[in-house]
Every structure is written in C-alpha cells, then in structure tokens.
Amino acid sequence: MKIPEFVQSILRRYDEQNGPLLAKGLSFNFLLGFLPMIFLAFWTAALLVDLAPGLQEILEAEVVRALPGAMHELVNNQISHLGRSKGTLGLITLFTFVVTVFFLFESLERTVRTMVGGQGRSWLKTRAINLMMVVGSIIFVYTAALFSVVGRVIKDMGFLPPRLLSLGAPALSIIIIGLFFAFCEYIYLQRKVELPPLLLISLGASAAWFFAAAFSGTLVRTAGRRFVVYGAITGAVTYTMFLRILAEIVIFATLLIREFALKEEGEQKEAMDGEDV
C-alpha cells in the first residue's frame, strides 16, 4: 500500500526538523508553564474580586472541572486554594510565573516557525507578541469558564434534548481550545493562511487533546485500583506523558496546517522542500 504523498511530506519534515527533540522541549515548557498560567488566572480573579465578585467561584467550578484527570486533584487542592487571595503571590513568585508562561509561548512560537519554515521577527516584536499571548491565555481561561457557565444554564433550562446535552460540554471544550490553538497558529505563522483548513485542523488537534486527556484520567484510575504502589505515582507519570502527547499533537497539527492551509504559498513551500532535500 502506497503512503499518500502528503503523509510522506509531513513525516519527512518532522524527521528533518528533529521533531522529537522539539516535542521534548515544548513538553518541558508545557510542564513549567501550564499550571502557572492557571494560577495567574485565579490570582488575577482575586485582584478583580471587587469588580467581578463571582469570577473566582466560576473559575473554580468550571475550569478545574474541565482539566485532565491527572491535573484535576492537583489544581483543586493547591492552585485554587492559593489563588483565592491576592496576597498569596510575592513579586518574585509573580515574576517567575509570568516568565515561565512567557517561555511556554516562546517555545510554541519557535516550534511553529521551525516546522513551517517562516522567518523570525525582530527581538523586541517577538517578545511583545509573546507577552501579549500571556495576557491572552489568562483571558482565554476566563472565556472558557464563562462559556461553560452559559452551557450549564442552557442545560438547566431544558431547551435541548438530554442526549445532545451529554455531548455539549465536551464539544464546547473542543471548540474553545481549538479556536485558541488556531489563534496561536495564526499569530505565529507569519504567512497568509486559509481559514477553513486552519480551523478544521485546529479543531481536530483539540479533539485529539481531549481524548488523550480522557484516556490519561482512565489510566490513572485503573492503575490506582490495580497497583497500589504504581497508582501512587501514576498521576505524575501520566501528566508528563500527556504533555508530551500534547506537544506531538501541536507539531503534527502545525505540519498539517503547513500542508493544507498555506496553498497560496505553494511555490515557496516546494522550494523550501527542495532545499531540505
């Protein structure tokens, strides 16, 4: 059976650009930056408590519930508890958290640029964009929580059939994360992009992430029941494995976007492929 040409192109690009090493670096930055990003969302909600009194409760009720199984208990027991007060973060800790989230987006930007073959921006412009992405990620957490609340209100009002409602929450999570991923790709690609394939691939990547998260939760529960010793550490192990899978999803989704969403740059892409060979 002949492998489709676009699959060969994607795998060749992945190998030539040292995809496994990029995935390791990106997963490490996910490990460092993912939880601080959520913590900053809770902490900024504490700062806004006078303007939006119910924001913290919404984050705790909706965001924590939507996290992968390997992260749910950690965030619920530590992050949400510490983030309830605006005085829990010192300036050094706050700066460290912002920097780790910043490096997460810088790593994402470098990964996208490497896989697509785009030109780098100036040093100052790159840092300004990634700092904007740090703020955008916090706004994204708020938006995801508010959309979850809207979905829960619609469910309580009984406008939709129960069978459809059971699929509503996962579908909403997939759509929100997919749109955020598409936004990140659009910002970092620095090329003209066809929006339909960009959105379709981004939603597919988000769905793959969702199912990987569901599988990780199942693995944690199964290992905890069958192997007491292994079950005690499987949460941390599964969490790191999940982040590596997430990094691979990001890389392959970027390669798919390069293949299908940059059609108007076909001649330039073929030239780059010729240089790679």
**Residue 252 vs residue 191, higher pLDDT:** 252
Structure tokens at 80: 């949400």
| End-to-end Cα, the chain, rounded Å | 24
Q: Is residue 72 part of a domain?
A: yes
Round to whole Å and give the CA distance between 9 and 249.
17
Q: Is residue 9 part of a domain?
A: no
Q: Per mean pLDDT, which range of 154-158, 168-172, 176-180, 254-258 is the poorest?
A: 154-158
For residue 13, pLDDT over 50 is answered with yes
Q: Is residue 8 part of a domain?
A: no
Averaged pLDDT for residues 208-225: 68
**Backbone phi, psi, residue 119, to 5°:** -85, 145
pLDDT one-digit tens code per residue, 224-270: 555 445 555 556 666 788 888 999 999 999 999 999 998 654 444 44
Structure tokens at 149: 């609340």
Structure tokens at 62: 């909706």
Q: Is residue 6 part of a domain?
A: no
Averaged pLDDT for residues 91-98: 84
Q: Is residue 82 part of a domain?
A: yes
As for how many domains the chain has, the answer is: 1
Please state, in angstroms and as integers, the Cα–Cα distance from residue 243 to each residue in 24, 27, 31, 161, following that order.
Answer: 9, 5, 7, 35
Round to whole Å and give the CA distance between 143 and 55.
11
pLDDT one-digit tens code per residue, 73-89: 666 665 555 555 555 56
Q: Is residue 187 part of a domain?
A: yes
Chain-centroid distance, C-alpha 43: 20
Round to whole Å and give the CA distance between 85 and 184.
30
Q: Is residue 263 part of a domain?
A: yes
pLDDT one-digit tens code per residue, 99-154: 999 999 999 999 999 999 877 788 899 999 999 999 998 888 888 777 777 766 76
H helical segments located in the chain: 5-16, 19-47, 55-58, 64-66, 69-74, 80-82, 91-116, 123-157, 162-189, 195-226, 228-260, 266-276
Round to whole Å and give the CA distance between 79 and 46.
12
Q: Per mean pLDDT, which range of 119-133, 160-174, 179-193, 207-221 is the poorest?
A: 160-174
Kindly give, in sequence order, each residue whose CB lies less than 8 Å from that of residue 105, ignoring residues fewer than 6 positions away.
Answer: 33, 130, 133, 134, 137, 184
Kindly give, in sequence order, each residue whose CB lies less than 8 Å from that of residue 117, ignoring residues fewer than 6 positions away.
Answer: 258, 269, 272
Q: Is residue 10 part of a domain?
A: no
Note down the domain range covering 271: 17-276
